[in-house]
Chain A
Amino acid sequence: MLGKTNLWLSHLASISRLFVLTLYWAFIAPWRERHAGFDRRTVWRLMDETGVQSAPIVILIGTLVGSILVLQTAYQLQSYGQVRLVAGFVAVAVTRELGPLLTAILLTGRVGAAFTAELGTMKVSEEILALEVMAIHPVGFLVAPRFLALLVMLPCLTMIADVAGLLGGFITGTTLYQISPGSYIDTTFRWLLFRDVLSGLIKSVIFAVIITMVGCYRALIVEGGPEGVGHATMGAVVTAIVLIIVADGIFTAILL
């Protein structure tokens, strides 16, 4: 039991150190070091891979969740004869909670897993050691650009998911429950506050940190060939999702 606690603490210490190093290489090194450690083009490429290419699936999931939410909420509001309030409930639920959370979970599977698999394979094929031998810092070269890319793209995708969710709700609400479009939009904007959207975006920044740090950390400590990479990828996805939901709980309590 004690051994297990110690192992957890040592992982926690290592991942914190990785986070500090990543912050240094992402924000300080580009101004201080002679060479930034990574190429600006790499960040653009990663922003395209993690962000732009994730947009369609985020839009799809966002729209579906928005409509499902309308169905579920309307089902309960019907008994009170207050179906037209559905727009407000859905708007708040999507922007505060489901938009950021589902986007983060989606990106954990799509991007976090890819980070672990790619960097983990580089670890087992000695590519990361080769970088170190060339005096190129692996955190600066590999982790920092991924961190920056997701830090920008996850809030963007969350906003896209928010809009898609509202739109999905709007379509379902106006077609299935005969709420007039004008009244739906009116209720939405009467209920929705700017701080709802903002709290969702703040959470998405935290989630971006969790996804990159867990994904890259699990990759950098991979041992034992392809099996190790598979195991690490699975572990990274599970750990990241659990941490995202825990962090979501904490920050929801703080940001209410």
Chain B
Amino acid sequence: MNDSDQTATVRDLHQAPAPGAMIEVRHLRKCFGTKVVLEDVSFAVERGTICVVMGGSGSGKSTVLRHLIGAYKPDSGAVYLDGVDITRLDARAMQQVRRKFGMLFQGGALLNSLTVGENVALPIRHHTELPEETIAIMVKLKLELVGLRDAEHLKPSEISGGMQKRVSLARAIALDPKIVFYDEPSAGLDPIVTGVIDKLMLDLTHKMGITSLVVTHDMQSAFRIADTMIMLHRGRIVAAGTPEEMRHSPDPLVQQFITGAPDGPIPLRMSHKEYQADILGL
């Protein structure tokens, strides 16, 4: 992404958020100790679209996600969700914002002491005063959406990893959120289940108008679902655009990531020491 793009999509830190943007991140910076993990990360996601955040391990994409859900506070910068800057909220106000979004965790993160149905019912029970019969119907609706109505009375340990993820998705959308975050939705899944999850994401976004942000390094799935894409490398955004723009990007870094070439701008070997010297103990 060149500079003019960046200024067009990202406004000054103190301006009101862009009207169409559901998620907006501005000049995010985060250090752990002396290590800079994120540096000047800025992007916006339009309402009702899917934005895919790509990047290798250690590129900072999970850290971005943790800022978006309010688990980390940035050293500087702002995160707007539905027009509210969550970096300035206290715990109680953050609780209010959190009801507006759901998240699909990498490992599902279902509570193992509860059944599948109780897991999906958990946020509904906690945040509404609906009678039990209504909750039971809502749980069935959400589970039907991910095709797992039959699993309602099973424990998470009794179903497969792919099913756990689908249940986790049902739980994430239990309260009809405006935003859903996905952390590596296809990690550890076979291509067919990945396809199922991708289709669910597309349906939710386009039929229900949910805004989605997906962190992934599965390129096939990324190009299938993305409306916009962002690529992170060493804590900075190195490329952003539509899937078409990314595919034809001249940037060798982007090309290496898309094609999965083992060596390129991102080196295969991480060692700093000279190979020969290291082996011979010099």
The segment from A56-64, A126-134, A153-161, A205-213 that touches chain B is A126-134
Question: How far is it, in angstroms, between the C-alpha of A155 and the C-alpha of B37 when the chains are bound?
Answer: 49
Q: Beyond the given A129-B109, A135-B95, A136-B123, please list 15 additional residue pairs across the A-B interface where CB-CB is below 8 A.
A: A34-B129, A122-B112, A126-B106, A127-B109, A129-B69, A129-B71, A130-B111, A133-B71, A133-B98, A133-B101, A133-B103, A135-B96, A135-B123, A135-B126, A136-B126
Are B98 and A129 neighbours in the complex by a CB distance under 8 Å? no
CA of A136 to CA of B119 in the docked complex: distance in angstroms? 13
Instruction: List B contacts of A137 (CB < 8 A).
Output: 95
Given contacts A125-B109, A136-B123, contact A130 B129 (CB under 8 A): no
A35 within 8 A of B: yes
Nearest-neighbor residue (CB-CB) of B101 within chain A: A133
A sample of 5 inter-chain contacts (CB < 8 A) reads: A126-B109, A132-B98, A133-B98, A135-B99, A136-B126
The 8 closest A-B pairs by CB, nearest first: A130-B109, A135-B98, A126-B109, A135-B95, A134-B123, A133-B103, A127-B109, A126-B105
A-B pairs under 8 A by CB, number: 51
Contact A134-B126, Cβ < 8 Å, known A126-B105, A129-B105: yes
Using a CB-CB cutoff of 8 Å, which residues 94-133 of chain A contact chain B? Answer: 122, 125-127, 129-133
Residues on the A chain within 8 Å of B99, using CB: 135
Interface size on A, residues (CB 8 A): 15
Rounded to whole Å, the gap between the CB of B89 and the closest CB of chain A is: 12
B122 within 8 A of partner (CB): yes
Closest to B110 in A: A127
Closest CB-CB distance, B91 to chain A, in whole Å? 9
Q: In the assembled complex, which residues on chain B have CB atoms less than 8 Å from the CB atom of A125?
A: 107, 109
CB of B207 within 8 Å of the partner chain: no
- In the bound complex, residues from chain A placing their C-beta under 8 Å from that of B96 are 135
Interface size class of B (residues with CB under 8 A): 20 to 34
Chain A contacts with B in 43-88, Cβ cutoff 8 A: none
Give the residues in chain A near B71, CB-CB below 8 Å: 129, 132-133
Known: A133-B98, A134-B98. A127 touches B111 (CB 8 A): yes
How far apart sit A34 and B126, CA to CA, in the bound complex (Å)?
9
Docked Cα-Cα span, A131 to B126, in Å, equals 11
Instruction: List A contacts of B106 (CB < 8 A).
Output: 126
How far in angstroms is the closest Cβ of chain B from A142? 10
Please give, as numbers and ranges, the residues of chain B lying within 8 Å of A126 by CB-CB distance.
105-107, 109
Q: In the bound complex, how far is the Cα of B180 from the Cα of A221, in angstroms? A: 27
CB contacts under 8 Å to A, within B168-203, are 171
CA distance A46 to B17 in the complex (A): 47
Query: How long is the Cα–Cα vector from A133 to B127 in the complex, in angstroms?
Result: 13
Interface presence of B125 (CB below 8 A): yes
Contact B127 A135, beta carbon cutoff 8 Å: yes
CA A230 – CA B30 in complex, angstroms?
Answer: 30
Contact A35 B98 (CB under 8 A): no
* Contacts A125-B109, A135-B98; A130 near B125 (Cβ below 8 A): no
* B101 contacts across to A, CB distance below 8 A: 133
- Chain A residues in 8 Å Cβ range of B125: 35
A35 CA to B112 CA, complexed, in Å: 22
Question: Which residues of the partner chain B approach A34 to less than 8 Å between Cβ atoms?
Answer: 129
The residue in chain B whose Cβ has the minimal distance to the Cβ of A42 is: B113
Give A130 to B110 CA distance when docked, in angstroms.
8
List residues of A (213-227) whose CB comes within 8 Å of B's CBs: none
Rounded to whole Å, the gap between the CB of A136 and the closest CB of chain B is 5
CB distance from B165 to the nearest CB of A (A): 13
Bound CA–CA A68/B220 (angstroms): 71
- Chain A residues, Cβ within 8 Å of B171: 134
Cα–Cα distance between A129 and B98 once the two chains are bound (Å): 12
Task: Name A130's closest neighbour in chain B (CB-CB).
Answer: B109
Residues in B with CB closer than 8 Å to A132 are: 71, 98
Q: Separation in Å of the A232 CB from the closest CB of chain B? A: 18
Q: CA A137 – CA B102 in complex, angstroms?
A: 15
Q: State in angstroms the CA–CA spacing of A27 and B203 once bound together.
A: 44
Complex contacts, B95 vs chain A, CB 8 Å: 135, 137
* Binary interface encoding of chain A residues 137-157 relative to chain B, with 1 for a CB under 8 A from any of its CBs, else 0: 100000000000000000000
Chain B residue with Cβ nearest A121:
B112
* Residue with the greatest number of chain B CB neighbours at <10 A, chosen from A34, A122, A130, A132: A130
Question: Chain B residues with Cβ under 8 A from A134's Cβ?
Answer: 98, 102, 122-123, 126, 171
How far in angstroms is the closest Cβ of chain A from B209?
A: 21
Neighbouring B residues of A129 by C-beta, 8 Å: 69, 71, 105, 109
CA distance A136 to B175 in the complex (A): 13
